[in-house]
């Protein structure tokens, strides 16, 4: 049943009466909002498609021919005269923008209504702002049906927003509409889509989109070329990057494009990562020949690639060129140079690299410092490494956790427990109290100098700081207690390992067997050995020497022979060989003595 006119919402007067108090500047917005509500109310609830002309202002008076028959549909929108201007007005007001798309959908029912470019643009922007993806799908279908598109920048924004929101189907639909229309909106949208896929690391999608554009004979923008080259570089396809770069250089806007330097940076980086450092260097020289100046990123990329390829002379020449141009500032590049100098055996050059970093105001990273220290240890020895560490401190370098651990290890190997303790205290004081390597080195040092109480205190401190002991730390403790003959304490450490679910290795089993052997717990030694073998462990000379003594003392010659069979082909040291030989002779096993002499040899111990 149709509603009577009295049930409709009242329309606000467009011109206030003289008795009406002055309205604020927001009155037109309020009027537009109430008008939109009125239109939607009528179109939803009225059975009659006619409105009283006196109830509508002239601007919204429906132009209905007199001969037009009354529509039997319950929707009054075809007679309401919703215009493109009215819809854009709703979009421009934050208080009415939510009604804009519904009014637009009602307006489509009007005979002769056709959305305009400005209307499509306004609706697209509003729906993107509100993230109404379902409504956007309907709007895109209208783009296809009416052949109308938003502005090119809005098209690019629409595609990029869809991809960022993972609405890939909607993005494909928009690109399909634009591809059919071609023109500037399609070119800009395809470039925006490639860049959006790259930000999501969906490089394959970028390459596929490039192929789609090529098939459709769409001219690519400079941004699109850069995006697809970056994608191919990330996919480790340097040949594709090189071919795309040739196409890029053949375009009419090269080299006037503002992003030419960024393009060269992408190409040089892709070639360098692919191991083609000399090709990257040639690309840099071509750039200079075209009148373009490399930036710091290009210099760093090419120098790093040359350093990785161990092209020492070329890397140093380009490094000095960049230094003169004040184009150095990438710590990763300095790290690669440091590694190159270490591998080349010229570790003294690494100190100069650190000095250059300090001179240009860069912090020498912990990774670079530890690489220098370890390089000196490898190439020059322990004492030169300490001297290099002192030089680095002198030029203002601040060591980090890894560097502290490396220096502590050097002092421990030198037997300088006092200096190791001083560096360790400094490290803890600076807040680096969660380094399991440093704790392990200190505990190992205490074990070697038989300072068991300090080792156990450090273990307690380690756990108090929240640093979980690993198998190396437990191995040091087991070895220490084993050498001291303290089997009970070794067993406590072993049980703690099991409780903390730290998986023991061969060194762990050797240490615990040694501790029980010295305490005379031979049955426990056999039990641990069997557990080790059942877990798939392989016997080495150290464990074999222990178990030969254990099996001989317990007269378990069958296990002894099995142990020797497992070691068949292994050269035994003289001490172990003679121990086995005596054990077999004392047991009267002459057959096994001959088998031992025919299958095993021994090597003299170095003195």
Query: Are 517 and 551 members of one domain?
Result: no
Question: Which positions ≥6 away from 139 have C-beta within 8 Å?
Answer: 101, 120, 123, 124, 127
What are the structure tokens assigned to 164, written together? 């960022």
pLDDT at residue 19 is higher than 70: no
Name the band, by pLDDT with cuts 50, 70 and 90, for residue 603.
low
One domain, residues 587 and 516: no
What's the rounded mean pLDDT across residues 26-34?
Answer: 52
Helices of type H across 46-96: 84-92
- Report which secondary-structure segment, H or E, holds 573: strand 572-573
Which residue has tokens 């700081």?
A: 465
pLDDT band at 556 (very low <50, low <70, confident <90, very high): confident
Reduce the DSSP state of residue 575 to 3 states and report it. helix
pLDDT number for residue 569: 58
Q: Which of 299-303, 466-470, 514-518 has the highest mean pLDDT?
A: 299-303
Interatomic CA distance for residues 387 and 393, integer angstroms: 10
- Spatial CA neighbour of 188 closest among 196, 534, 88, 126: 196
Mean pLDDT, residues 77-84: 68
pLDDT above 80 (res 209): yes
Does the pTM of the predicted model rise above 0.85? no
d(CA 259, CA 257): 5
| Alpha-carbon span 231 to 240, nearest angstrom | 10
What is the biggest distance separating any 2 CA atoms in the chain, rounded to whole angstroms?
132
Beta-bridged to residue 602, according to DSSP, are 572
Do 2 and 109 fall within a single domain?
yes
| 35 and 100 together in one domain | yes
SS3 category, 235: coil
Is 101 found in the same domain as 4? yes
Residues 514 and 555 in one domain: no
3-state secondary structure of 603: strand
Range of the domain at 79: 1-13+27-61+71-113
pLDDT number for residue 34 = 53
Instruction: Give the DSSP H or E segment for 487.
Output: helix 487-499
The mean per-residue pLDDT over the stretch 580-601 comes to 76
Q: How many residues does the chain have?
A: 607
In sequence order, the β-bridge partners of residue 572 are 602
Q: Say how far apart CA 199 and CA 193 lie, in whole Å.
A: 10
State how far Cα 484 lies from the chain centre: 48
Q: pLDDT tens across 225-243, in order?
A: 999 999 999 999 999 999 9
Kindly state whether residue 596 falls inside one of the protein's structural domains.
yes
Q: pLDDT at residue 415 above 60? A: yes
Give the domain-ending residue among 52, 82, 113. Answer: 113
- Render pLDDT for 97-145 as a digit per residue (tens, 0 to 9): 889 999 999 999 988 899 999 999 999 999 999 999 999 999 999 999 9
Flag whether 78 is in a domain: yes
- Mean pLDDT, all residues of the chain: 85
**According to the model, what pLDDT value does residue 571 have?**
65
Closest CA to 210 of 242, 178, 244: 244
Phi and psi (nearest 5°) for 308?
Answer: -65, -35
> What's the confidence (pLDDT) of residue 485?
82
Q: Is residue 427 part of a domain?
A: no
Residue 226: enclosing H or E segment and its boundaries? helix 222-234
The answer to whether residue 235 sits within a structural domain is no
pLDDT of 333 reads: 95
Q: Which two tokens stand for residue 93?
A: 């007001």
Of 453, 488, 523, which residue constitutes the final position of a domain?
Answer: 523
Among 28-37, 554-563, 574-583, which stretch is predicted with the lowest mean pLDDT?
Answer: 28-37
Contacts of 325 (CB under 8 A, 6+ apart): 299
- For residues 90 and 38, membership in a common domain is answered with yes
The number of distinct structural domains making up the chain is 3
Residue 356 pLDDT > 90, yes or no? yes
Q: How far apart are CA 301 and CA 451, in angstroms?
A: 50
Residues 545 and 486 in one domain: no
pLDDT confidence bin for 61, thresholds 50/70/90: very low
Q: Which of 521, 527, 585, 587 is nearest to 555 (CA)?
A: 587
Query: Is 582 found in the same domain as 519?
Result: no
In a domain, 49, yes or no: yes
The distance in angstroms from the start CA to the end CA of the chain is: 114
Residue that wins the pLDDT comparison between 109 and 591: 109
Report if residue 230 sits inside a domain.
no
Query: Do residues 40 and 105 both lie within one domain?
Result: yes
> How does pLDDT run across 425-478, given as a tens digit for each residue?
999 999 998 899 999 999 999 988 889 999 999 999 999 988 999 999 999 999
Contact 302, 311 (CB under 8 A): no
Give the confidence band of 566 by pLDDT, cuts at 50, 70, 90: confident
Residue after which a domain boundary falls, among 523, 549, 567: 523
What average pLDDT does this structure show over 163-174? Answer: 96
pLDDT (0 to 100) of residue 79: 52
CA distance 87 to 394: 72
Give the closest residue to 567 by CA, choosing from 548, 594, 585. Answer: 548
Average pLDDT over residues 175-197: 94
Residues 38 and 87 in one domain: yes
CB atoms under 10 Å from CB of 239, counted, come to 10
The two beta strands, 602-603 and 572-573, are parallel
12-21, 354-363, 414-423, 441-450: which has the minimum mean pLDDT?
Answer: 12-21
Assess whether pLDDT exceeds 50 at residue 20. no
Distance CA 220, CA 215 (A): 12
Angle, vertex CA 124, rays to CA 120 and CA 127, nearest 5: 135
Residues 54 and 107 in one domain: yes
Q: What is the mean pLDDT of residues 406-420?
A: 94
For 383, the token pair is 């004492």
Residue whose structure tokens are 């060194």: 507
Residue 108 counted as domain residue: yes
Residue 112 φ then ψ, to 5°: 85, 0
Angle in degrees, 0-180, between the axes of helices 117-130 and 84-92, rounded to the nearest 10: 30
Query: Residue 552 — very low, low, confident or very high, per pLDDT cuts 50/70/90?
Result: confident
Q: Classify 572 as helix, strand or coil.
A: strand
C-alpha to C-alpha distance for 330 and 71, rounded to whole angstroms: 73
Query: Does residue 538 have a pLDDT over 90?
Result: no
Distance CA(273)–CA(284), nearest Å, equals 15
The owner of tokens 């979009």 is 91
In this structure, are residues 86 and 103 in contact, taking their beta carbons and an 8 Å threshold? yes
**Residues 6+ away with beta carbon under 8 Å from 315:** 303, 306, 307, 337, 340
Query: Is 142 contained in some domain?
Result: no
Q: How far apart are CA 99 and CA 117, in angstroms?
A: 19
**How far is the C-alpha of 483 from the C-alpha of 595, rounded, in Å?**
34
Region of poorest pLDDT, from 149-153, 385-389, 582-586: 582-586
Residue with tokens 């999501």: 200
For 573, phi then psi, to 5°, come to -75, 160
């Amino acid at each position: 049943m149709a509603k009577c006119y009295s049930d409709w919402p009242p329309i606000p007067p467009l011109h206030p009466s003289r008795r009406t108090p002055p309205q604020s500047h927001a009155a037109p917005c309020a009027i537009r909002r109430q008008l939109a509500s009125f239109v939607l109310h009528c179109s939803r609830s009225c059975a009659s498609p006619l409105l009283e002309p006196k109830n509508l202002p002239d601007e919204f008076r429906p132009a209905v021919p007199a001969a037009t028959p009354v529509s039997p549909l319950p929707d009054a929108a075809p007679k309401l005269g919703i215009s493109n201007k009215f819809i854009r007005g709703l979009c421009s007001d934050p208080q009415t923008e939510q009604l804009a798309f519904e009014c637009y959908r009602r307006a489509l029912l009007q005979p002769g209504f056709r959305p305009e470019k400005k209307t499509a643009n306004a609706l697209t922007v509003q729906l993107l702002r509100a993230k109404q993806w379902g409504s956007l799908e309907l709007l895109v279908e209208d783009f296809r049906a009416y052949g109308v598109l938003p502005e090119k920048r809005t098209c690019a924004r629409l595609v990029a927003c869809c991809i960022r929101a993972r609405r890939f189907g909607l993005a494909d639909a928009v690109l399909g509409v634009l591809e059919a229309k071609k023109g500037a909106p399609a070119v800009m949208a395809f470039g925006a889509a490639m860049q959006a896929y790259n930000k999501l690391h969906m490089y394959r999608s970028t390459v596929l989109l490039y192929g789609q554009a090529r098939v459709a004979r769409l001219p690519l923008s400079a941004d699109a070329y850069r995006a697809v080259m970056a994608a191919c570089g990330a996919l480790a396809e340097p040949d594709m990057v090189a071919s795309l770069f040739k196409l890029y250089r053949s375009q009419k806007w090269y080299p006037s494009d503002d992003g030419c330097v960024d393009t060269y940076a992408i190409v040089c980086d892709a070639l360098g990562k692919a191991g083609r450092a000399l090709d990257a260097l040639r690309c840099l020289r071509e750039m200079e020949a075209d009148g373009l100046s490399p930036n710091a990123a290009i210099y760093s990329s090419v120098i790093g690639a040359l350093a990785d390829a161990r092209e020492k002379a070329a890397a140093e020449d380009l490094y000095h060129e960049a230094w003169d141009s004040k184009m150095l500032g990438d710590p990763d590049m300095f790290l690669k140079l440091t590694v190159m100098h270490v591998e080349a055996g010229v570790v003294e050059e690494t100190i100069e690299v650190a000095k250059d970093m300090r001179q240009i105001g860069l912090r020498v990273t912990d990774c670079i410092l530890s690489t220098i220290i370890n390089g000196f240890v490898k190439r020059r020895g322990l004492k030169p490494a300490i001297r290099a560490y002192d030089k680095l401190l002198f030029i203002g370098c601040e060591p980090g956790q890894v560097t502290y651990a490396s220096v502590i290890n050097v002092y421990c190997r030198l037997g300088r427990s006092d200096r190791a303790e001083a560096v360790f205290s400094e490290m803890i004081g600076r807040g680096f109290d969660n380094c399991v390597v440093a704790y392990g080195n200190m505990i190992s040092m205490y074990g070697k100098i038989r300072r068991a109480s300090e080792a156990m205190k450090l273990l307690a401190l380690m756990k108090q700081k929240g640093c979980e002991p690993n198998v190396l730390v437990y191995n040091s403790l087991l070895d220490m207690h084993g050498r001291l003959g303290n089997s009970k304490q070794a067993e406590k450490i072993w049980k703690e390992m099991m409780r903390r679910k730290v998986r023991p290795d061969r060194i762990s089993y050797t240490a615990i067997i040694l501790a029980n052997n010295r305490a005379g717990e031979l049955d426990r030694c056999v039990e641990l050995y069997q557990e080790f073998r059942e877990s798939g462990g392989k016997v080495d000379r150290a464990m074999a020497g222990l178990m030969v003594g254990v099996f001989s003392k317990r007269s378990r010659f069958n296990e002894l022979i099995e142990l020797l069979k497992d070691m068949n082909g292994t050269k035994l040291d003289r001490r172990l060989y003679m121990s086995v030989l005596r054990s077999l002779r004392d047991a009267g096993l002459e057959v096994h003595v001959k088998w031992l002499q025919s299958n095993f040899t021994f090597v003299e111990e170095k003195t």
